[in-house]
Every structure is written in C-alpha cells, then in structure tokens.
Structure 1
Amino acid sequence: MSAAPKIQGWCPGALRPMQSGDGLLLRAKTIGPRLAAENALEIAAIAVSCGNGLIDLSQRAQLQLRGVAETKLREAQQRLHRLGLLARDAATESVLNFIVSPLAGFAKGAIDAHGVLSQLVRELSEDAALLALPGKFGFLIDDGGPLGLAEVTTDIRLEAYFDNGAARVAVVADGARDQAFIVSPEAAAATALALARAFLSLRKGREFELRRMRSVVAAFGLDAVASAAGLASAPYRSSCRAAGADEIFGAHALFAGVGAPSGRFRAGDLAFLAGLAAKYGAGELRLTPWRAILLPCRSEKSAREMIRAAASRGLIVDADDARLAVVACSGAPECPQALRATRGEMDRLAPLARRVASGGVALHISGCAKGCAMPAPARITLVAREHGFDLIDNGRAGDAPSLTGLGPKEIEDAIEARITRADTKPTGAAMSGASSYIRDGAAIYARSFAIIRAEARLERFAPEEERVAVRIIHASGMVEVADDIIFSPGMARAASAALRAGAPVLCDANMVAHGVTRARLPANNDVVCTLTDPRVAALAAKGGTTRSAAALELWRERLDGAVVAIGNAPTALFRLLELLDEGAPRPAAIIAMPVGFVGAAESKEAALADGRVPVVIVRGRKGGSAMAAAAINALASDEE
C-alpha cells in the first residue's frame, strides 16, 4: 500500500521556493493578471539561466519556474526584484493570493477590479494579524466583464452585482455561495478582510484542520462567520458566469488566447508570446486560471496574426484541441510525492479523452492521491500507484477507484469501454435499423430532458430558473449554453407571477409569438407581436430605425406589468430600454435573447446592467426566437 502523500499546505513563492524532484520550484508572483511583455521576456530569461527552462502556468494564474538551482536562487530573486515581482518578505508574499478578471482594466467591467485589488494588497501587507492566513487562502475579484470566473474556486469571492441598476459588490464566503454581503465597491475590500479576520478567529486551535474558508463555514456555519466579522448576509443568486473554452482560446476582438498542455510552457514559448504582444498587441500578457495566456489587442485582425504565429509553435489555439481534454500534474520525477510519470500519457490519451466529453477536462492524470492538478471531479481520473494506475469514475483523485493496477493498454481499453457504454446508453437496448427509433413524443421529451440534466452545468440555478435553462437548452440543442444564461435576482418568480395574473406576452418577432405554446399559458394570456401592423413601416421611416424597434411604439399601452420576449432584434431591446428612459411603464420581466453579430451581445449586457426590470439573458451572440419562446413556455407552467 502506498504511503499517504504529504500535504504541504502552502504554495511556492520567490522568497520561499519549494523543493521538487527537478530542483527548486519558484513562483514569479504577479499581483493581478497583467504582465508587461518586457517582464515576460525577463522571466523567460531567468527560467533559462537559473532553471531548467520550463515554466508552469498554475490554476492560480501564476508562473512557476521549474528546476531552479540552489546556486542560482539568489540571482533569480534579485532579477525578479528589479521587475517589481518580489514581496518585501516571505510572510507577506504568502498571503498575497489573488485571482482577478483576466481582462480587468482592458475590457469594460462593472467595477474597478484594480482599485479593489489595491486596497486588499495594502491592508494585507500592513496588518500583521492577517499574515497568519494560510498560504493557500485566496481572494477572487470578478468585475462582471468578459470571461467570468464562476467556476473558479477560492476562499473569498468579490463579484460585481447590480442592485436596481447600481453597481455593487457581492462578497461571498466559499462554502456558502447562496449568501452574500452586498456592499459598495469602496467597502468591498474591508468587507472581505473582515471575513478573513473572522476566519482566523474561528479556526484558533484547529489551524491544520481548518485551512480553508469552506471548512470553517462547514464547521461553524455562515452565521457564526458573519457574527465574528460584524456583518449581515443576504440571500444571493450570482450573475457571475463561467467562461467557456471557445471564449478563451483563439482569436477574439480584444485578445488572442493561447495555451499549453496542462499549462506547461517552455521559456522560448513565453518569450515568443511576449514578442507577439509587443508587435501586434498591447504590449502585455494576461495570466488566467485556465492555464491560458491572453494577448490583449485592439482588433481581431491582430488577434488572428498572433494565433497563426502561436499555432506554428504547437501551442493550443483552439477550443477543440484534444489536449484540453486532459490535465496532468508534473508527476515523477519532478514531484517527490508522485509515484509515476504522468505527462508522457497526455498526448497518447488526449484523443480518447476528447471522445469521453466534447468539452472541458474529461481526463485527470495524477501522480498521487492529492490531485493537485484538478481538485474538482473529472469524468475519468487516473491515480498513480506502485503497481500501475487506479481509475476513478466521476470523482477526485482521493476517491475510491473503479479499477486498480492498470497498465498503458488496460487504461486505453478501460476508456474505450466507457466511450462505448456512453454511446449505447441513451437507447437502453441495442438499436438496429431505422425502424428502431423512438416514436413516442412523451418519451422523447423525457429522454431529452434527462440528457440535458446529465450533461449541462445547472448547479448554480434556483429550481424555477433551472426549468427555464433546461427549456432553452432543449430548444437550441446546446448544453454549453447553460453557462451563458444569466438571471437577474427574482426574474423567474416575477415573470411566472405576472403570467399567472394574466399579463400579456409582448414579442418582437412573429417566430417568438408562434413558438409560445398557448396550452401552457396559465390565464389565457394574450400573445402580441406588432411587427406586421400597417403603421410600423411609417414609424420606422420617421424614426430612422428598424421595423423591429419601431414596432415597440405600439406596445406602450400594454407595457405595464407585461412579460416581454425579445428573440430576434437587438434594436428592439435597445429601444425598450430607451422607452423606459422616456418614462414608459415598466414590464414585469424581460426575456432578452436577440441573436446576431451586431449589437446582440451589447444589448443584452445593457439590459442586465440596467436593473430596473428583472431580466434573463443568453450572453454573447447566441439567442433567437426558439430560445425566447422556450423561456416563456418554461415560465408559464411548472410542468416539464
């Protein structure tokens, strides 16, 4: 039986490096995601002259230099100091742990993330009592801009939050994400640090056992944490979203997203990316918790140039790259805790792993039971043992295995078997020939919804929101759209109540109106679309706008308390917000799901930020009449 792996309880720094199997592991610690191109060049040079030339981008969005020699440590520290990347002492370095929206300060966010971050850094550096925080205790700031951090876990979250149109901050303790301390941006840092001090107070005498906020919340309850902090929490439903791989990797309007397998870059790769940032971009790199580096720029053309160049070096530039389906720790011999090499398996198993799941990490390869590379469950986890690998289904590295002692061929066979099982599972019995397809409509519905609930990430939705999300996914055929569905607080309840009270449904397009199932409406509600009204063409010409926007002029007398469904035209949604500015009556709720490449994403973000009317949106370019109608059908009835 293998000995239990040693838990260090802290992360390597520049002033307190960690001894590893290939030398010292040293973290070039940045405060925030931004890294100037010239600093990235120098870090690459340090990695070559003082280490073994390998650089890991961690889940904490930090660069770690591997194989640093004892004799070169002082030189590496001095050079990092000249870059401003060395804390005043090891104790201070240990507590400055932050994950921040990767594009903060470059792309528009709802709050000033850097302002909040500066306050946290100042207080953590000056308050000696806070130096007692554990080395892995961290803070996350999501400014509400692009590339949300919903799936990134840390001890204290600070999330942009809109309260009646005003930007606020929801401070959330890990372990109780359904509650928050809602404060102004100016009070956010102080509130987060009050929670940190409460954490320290409650864990006294149990320091080794209670090393993270979630364990303190589990041991004492959030009310005890709030009381110790002198705060009062409120029920909270986060609008923070999880960025998808297709949003991170590749060429985008504001950046190029580049990765490396399990975040392992060579020094030459980092130097090359720094050169691209200087030539085509904004002269900086942004570090992310997804083991990807973003190169900000001002045009998609520049982003495409950088992506083409990065692809020529074999870096990951596409969300469909099979290498993204596998994550592995450094393994043996680099990690003293690891029982076997892990990274040699990655390229061989990546194509199989991508067949296990079409998106995200499907296979986690861990050198020991700690599972450092991926704390969350994976579809398949391989854990190194003395006599091969154990295989765990839908779990973490420390969970009980389904299979033990597997060799390379046995691993492949086991993964193939799971793929085959998944391919045949939906129909229950083997199907042969066209005559075997499912004919029963109710059975098709039930099976469809079961598949959606098995595959989509629905955990963050309240029950009344989940029904809407499931219907939207069903209408679009895209389980990944769940990550883009955002409800403002209370939206689903407000819309359902309005429909039960007889509110009309106002639609921007006939396709939305035709998609509403009348039998589901609870009060024989009117479903109205004014787009084909004979007056609309003249109104559009007079206003110099689209017919979809002009048609809303005919809604004014029915807007009060109505449920609005916009599934086609961004101009209609923008015009609705203008009508509210002009004093038009407020509807009860808005389904904001226009689709397209011009104005769709912006109109939906504007509706969410407005705050005057509860709203549900599908972020980005996605949307459409089918999604909007599906949302109405879900809100109209509790029946599946």
Structure 2
Amino acid sequence: MSTALRPSACPGLLRIVPALDGGICRIKLAGGAISAAQAVAVAQAAERYAGGVIEATNRANLQIRGIGEQQSALIAELLAAGLGPSTAAGDDVRNLMLSPTAGIDPQMLIDTRPLAAQILGTLQNHPRFHQLSAKFAVQLDGGEALAMLDHHHDLWLSAFAGVDGPCLAFGLAGCPVDPPLGAVALEHGHRLLVAVLELFLDRARPEQTRMRHLLADYSAAELLARLDLPLLEIEAWARPTTPAGLHIGSHPQVGGGRVYVGAVTPLGRLDPTLLRGAARLASEWGDGNLRFSPWQSLLLPNVRAEDGPEVCRRLEQLGLLCSADRALAHLVACTGSSGCGKGLADTKGDALQLAALLQRHARTLEVHLSGCPRSCACAHVAPATLLAVGPGRYDLYLRDAGQPGFGALHARNLSIEAAGALLDARPRSNLDA
C-alpha cells in the first residue's frame, strides 16, 4: 500500500499516533467482527511490538497502545492477518457502526451485513470519499434489540417495515431515536449513502468536517431537496430502545438453539492472554469469531444454548465481566494521566476504586470518568460524568437534556470517596443500569 496518508490526529492501522505511553494503533473492525485467528494476531502484535495493552473502543474497534520503534513490523503483521483496508487511503473512512448482533438478533428486521459490506467497499475504494474526516461516521441499524442508539453519527439509516417491504429511515447528525428526515426503500440504501456523502463534499467548506457543521449553513430541507432519490415520507417514528444488559451474559439468537455470550472488558482494557483466551473459547464453543460492541464488550456468537453458562464461567475466569450485577461492568474511563498528556487524573485507577465502593452497596450505576473535557471514552452523554480537575479530584455532572456537554454540574472538586458517597446516596433512578 503506497498511497500517502493525509495528516490526522486520529490513529489508524497505518498511522501510529504518539501518546505518553507510546504509539497508538487503531484497528477498525467491519461491524465489530474479528476472527479468532485475527484476534490472536492482534494479541501477538501487542506482545511483540508494544506494551501489551489492548483496548476495546466505544466504536467497536480495537486499539494497541504503547507501541515502540517497530511500528512497521506491527503494521505488516496486522495487514498480513487481513485487518487492514483495501486501499491505504481508505483506512480513515471505515467508520460504519452496526449492531454487534447483526444477522443473528431475534428482533432484527433486516440482516444489515450485505449492505454494510457494500458501503464499506464504496468508502474505501471511492477516491473522493477519502476526503472525509477520520471522524465522519455512518450508522446502519437493522432494528436489532441490541443496538447502540445514543451515539451521534453524521448519517444514520434505520430499518422499518414499509408497506411494500423493508425500508430505511435516515437522518443527519443524530441517531435512530431522533425523528428521521425521510426514508428510502431498502434497495436504495447504498444509493442514498453515496448521494449524501457527495452532497456533503460538494457543499462543505474545508473547515466543515462533520455533518453538524454543514447543517449550520444549510437546513436539512435544503439538503434533501438536492438529493435525486425517490424519498418516502414517514408518518410516525418510534425506534424501540435497547433493553439494558443485552451485551452482557447469554442471550438467544434468531432461529433457536443458539445463543450469543457477551462479556464486558473491564474499563475497555484487554491483554494478550485475555484476548487469546477469548479467541480460543470462540473456536471451541462458538463459530470461531468474536464481535466487539460499542459498550466496550465482546460477544461470542453461535454458542449452543446449553453451553452458554459454561462459556460465561470461562470468560469470567479470563477476567471478563459476564454479570450485569458487577458495578465495574457499568463504568467507563478514558486512558487518563497514565497514558495521555491531557489527562488530569488516573481515571482507570480511580474507576476501579469507585467500582469497589459501589459494589459494597450493590449499586450498578452508569458513570463515565473523563480525564479532560474531550470525552474520548464515551461517545454519548452518560447519566453521570466525573470530569477530572486534578489528581484524584473530579467535578460531578448529571445528564440534563436542557444542558449542553456533560449536563448539569452537581458538585465540584470531589474525591473518589466523596463522589461514590454522593452517587450511592441518590435514589434509584436513571443512573442505575
């Protein structure tokens, strides 16, 4: 792959970005899926060429941290495992989110994987789309019960049952719980994507890298009027929300007799031994594949229903979290000051301390610990956010639809003990997972 990469602050497989703890390589997974053999290759590369730290991201990708001088060798090994883009310039734009249960979810209206493959091929192989920002992202939702519906995307498409067959509702700079702008028949889904991306590149100024920036200059109606497509109107829209906990534990797949088993990676962190162990379980008990999720969890699909409890037990033995009763399974924390120059606190260590405090009182709260205002670890606003203001000190925000950013400021300059006490004292509410 000789195509030159454009400058970007975002890591990719072909672009190693420096951090306090070494280089970061981001491996973008198609629909979050990776074979057991590829997972072993990631574990081996992290061991050979880095510090052995592997992260599951909130976009269902993997990252290797602490990469040293042998960057070229690491990239070559991952490319040989089939984890790279079809074209070098296409690496940045492989930003398509699916449900981690695409194709196997009992509630799905369509199997999104064929259309997803078509979209990913176009993004990688259409030279003009390589101009898109490395943060520009698309979501394709098949109506699954397990779907991340809170992450905003530049373009989202969501399946529903039309009068004449499956259709795709769509929207800009939002997510499938928002009112859609319109809809197309399923067979026009790829054409819609191409038309929207070309319209964005036609109209956006160089500094306008995201769809929300373009919508500051043009109304959605103005943009829709420029789409040469047979658009459908939607009289009513109500995307069913995702029940809590479907990414953790054993859950039925479509067709009966099989389950997928979900396990949370503690604070998004894995090591080579853990990843190898999960890959081995996927080969021995499943179909030889793993799926990562935007909840920083992994799924083993196509496990026999009667084997689900044993697979959960073995995943727990590896150090993963298979029970929604574990407080740690509901906490999110960025890299923090141990690996990031912008981090003001050791968020990972503080999150472990907070989890222990909450576990004593059997509280499972959705809490996000962020080392700085950039909110790298959480792509949506959590019910509670602890924003670091110094080592071991945090401001507490509670989600409020009427407030921008993290929400309403509830308390300042708290220790982890004080934050834990405040959170534990709150009545059972939407903070509870």
> TM-score per shorter chain, which class?
0.7 to 0.9
In the alignment, structure 1 residue 180 sits paired with structure 2 residue 185: no
What is the Cα deviation at residue 304 of structure 1? 1.6
1:233 CA drift (Å): 6.6
Deviation at 1:359, TM superposition (A): 5.4
TM-score relative to the length of structure 1: 0.60
- Residue 621 (structure 1) aligns with: none
Are the equivalent residues in 2 in contact too, given 1:258–1:292 (CA < 8 A)?
A: yes
For each residue in 1:344-392, what CA deviation from the matched residue of structure 2 results, as whole angstroms up to 9, or x when unmatched?
Answer: 111211144579996561x221111111112433343222234652313
Q: What are the residue-to-residue correspondences of 1:467-482 with 2, within 5 Å? A: none
Which deviations, in whole Å up to 9, do the C-alpha atoms of 1:104-128 show, x marking residues without a partner? 2344642231221122122222322
Q: 1:107 to 1:388 in 2, by over 3 A?
A: closer
Distance in structure 2 (CA, Å) of the matches to 1:114 and 1:133: 23
Deviations 1:384-412 (A, max 9, x none): 23465231321477667444444x3xx32
Over 3 Å counting, the alpha-carbon distance change for 1:126 and 1:251 in structure 2 is: closer
Alignment counterpart, residue 371 of structure 1, candidates 375, 394, 405: 375
C-alpha contact 1:151 1:242 (8 A) present in aligned 2: no
State the alpha-carbon separation in 2 of the partners of residues 175 and 255 from structure 1.
29
1:375–1:178: structure 2 CA closer, same or farther, 3 Å change rule? same
Is the 8 Å Cα contact of residues 327 and 362 (structure 2) preserved in structure 1?
no
The amino acid that maps onto 1:126 is: N
CA contact (8 A) 1:371 1:398 kept: no
> What displacement does 1:340 show?
2.3
* CA positional deviation for 1:163: 1.0
2:391 equivalent to 1:390: no
The residue aligned with 2:240 is 241
Is 1:72 aligned to residue 34 of structure 2? Answer: no
From the superposition, tell whether residues 333 and 296 of structure 1 become closer, same or farther in structure 2 (CA, over 3 Å).
same
Q: For 1:360-509, list aligned pairs within 5 A.
A: 361=366, 363-386=367-390, 389-395=393-399, 401-406=409-414, 408=415, 411-420=416-425, 422-423=426-427, 455=430
Structure 1 pair 314/182, CA: closer, same or farther in 2 (3 Å)? same
The 3 A distance-change label for structure 1 pair 359 and 84 is: same
Q: Which has the higher strand share?
A: 2
Q: Distance in 2 between matches of 1:212 and 1:415?
A: 37
Aligned partner letter, 1:103: T
User: C-alpha distance in 2, partners of 1:275/1:60?
Assistant: 24
Contact in 2 for aligned 1:178/1:235 (Cα 8 Å): no
1:194-248, Cα deviation, whole Å (9 max, x unpaired) = 112222233215x2xx332234334422112213434557346545434334222
Deviation at 1:314, TM superposition (A): 2.6
Higher relative contact order (CA 8 A, sep 6+): 2
* Amino acid in the other structure paired with 1:182: A
SS of 1:168 mapped into structure 2: strand
| DSSP-derived class of the 1:285 partner | strand
SS at match of 2:55: strand
Comparing 52-61 with 162-171, greater Cα deviation is found at 162-171
1:45 and 2:49 correspond: no
Q: CA shift at 1:301, angstroms?
A: 1.7
Alpha carbons of structure 1 residues 355 and 9: separation in structure 2 relative to 1, 3 Å: farther
1:584 corresponding residue in structure 2 = none
Aligned partners of 2:103 and 2:110 also within 8 Å:
no
Tell me the amino acid that sits aligned with residue 179 of structure 2.
D
**Aligned equivalent of 1:302:** 307
Q: Given residue 384 of structure 2, which amino acid in structure 1 is its aligned partner?
A: I
More helix by share: 1
Q: 1:298 to 1:102 in 2, by over 3 A?
A: same
Per-residue deviation at 1:319?
1.3
After TM superposition, the structure 1 = structure 2 runs for residues 175-574 of structure 1, keeping only pairs within 5 Å, are 175=174, 177-205=178-206, 207=207, 210-231=208-229, 232=231, 234-235=233-234, 237-253=236-252, 254-353=259-358, 361=366, 363-386=367-390, 389-395=393-399, 401-406=409-414, 408=415, 411-420=416-425, 422-423=426-427, 455=430
Secondary structure, in 3 states, of the residue corresponding to 1:302?
helix
Output one character per residue of 1:259-311: Cα deviation in whole Å (capped at 9) or x when no partner: 12221111111110000011111111111111110001242222222111111
Distance 1:161 1:202, change over 3 A: same
Find the aligned partners of 1:204 and 1:306 in 2 and give their Cα distance: 51
CA contact (8 A) 2:56 2:270 kept: yes
Confirm or deny: 8 A CA contact 2:382 2:406 kept in the other structure. no
Question: Matched residues in 2 for 1:393 and 1:307: separation?
Answer: 34
> Which residue type is aligned with residue 386 of structure 2?
L
Q: 1:142, 1:158 within 8 Å by CA — same for their partners in 2? A: yes
Deviations 1:534-568 (A, max 9, x none): xxxxxxxxxxxxxxxxxxxxxxxxxxxxxxxxxxx
Higher-Rg member (1/2): 1
Residues 449-503 of structure 1: per-residue CA shift (max 9 Å, x gap): xx9xx749xxxxxxxxxxxxxxxxxxxxxx98xxxxxxxxxxxxxxxxxxxxxxx
What is the SS of the residue equivalent to 1:84?
A: coil
Write the deviation string for residues 595-639 of structure 1: whole angstroms up to 9, x where unpaired.
xxxxxxxxxxxxxxxxxxxxxxxxxxxxxxxxxxxxxxxxxxxxx
Report the equivalent of 1:30: 29
In 1: Cα distance, 2:305 partner to 2:36 partner: 19
For residues 310 and 180 of structure 1, do their structure 2 counterparts lie closer, same or farther at Cα, with a shift above 3 Å needed?
same
Q: If the length of structure 2 is used for normalisation, what is the TM-score? A: 0.86
Q: Which amino acid aligns with 1:221?
A: S
SS at match of 2:31: coil
Q: 1:73 to 1:89 in 2, by over 3 A?
A: farther
- The question of whether the paired residues in 2 share the 8 Å contact of 1:40 and 1:274 is answered with yes
The answer to whether the 8 A contact 2:393-2:413 is kept is yes
Structure 2 gap segments, 5+ residues each? 1-6, 253-258
Identify which range, 387-396 or 279-288, moves more after superposition: 387-396
Counterpart in 1 of 2:160? 161
Name the Cα RMSD after superposition: 2.8
Aligned length: 413
Secondary structure of the equivalent of 1:27?
strand
Identity within the alignment, %: 28
Distance 2:313 2:354 in 1: 26
Cα shift at 1:255: 0.8
Query: Do the aligned partners of residues 455 and 368 (structure 1) sit closer, same or farther apart at CA in structure 2, a change above 3 Å counting?
Result: closer
Which residue in 2 is equivalent to 1:632? none
- Say whether the 8 Å CA contact 1:58–1:289 is kept in structure 2: yes
Q: Which amino acid in structure 2 is aligned with residue 118 of structure 1?
A: A
The residue aligned with 1:95 is: 93
Structure 1 residues 376 and 33: alpha-carbon distance in aligned structure 2, compared to 1, 3 A threshold: closer
Confirm or deny: 8 A CA contact 1:148 1:243 kept in the other structure: yes
**Other structure's SS at 2:75 match:** helix
**Secondary structure, counterpart of 2:306 in structure 1:** helix
- Structure 1 stretches lacking a partner, 5+ long: 1-7, 424-450, 457-478, 481-640
Query: Are the equivalent residues in 2 in contact too, given 1:22–1:334 (CA < 8 A)?
Result: yes
- 1:150-190 CA distance string (max 9 Å, x none): 23332211211111262112222224831233222221012
Corresponding position of 2:4: none
1:39–1:83 contact (8 Å) kept in structure 2? yes
- In 1: Cα distance, 2:9 partner to 2:197 partner: 17
CA distance in 1: counterparts of 2:326 and 2:8, whole angstroms? 33
1:588-627 to 2 correspondence within 5 Å? none
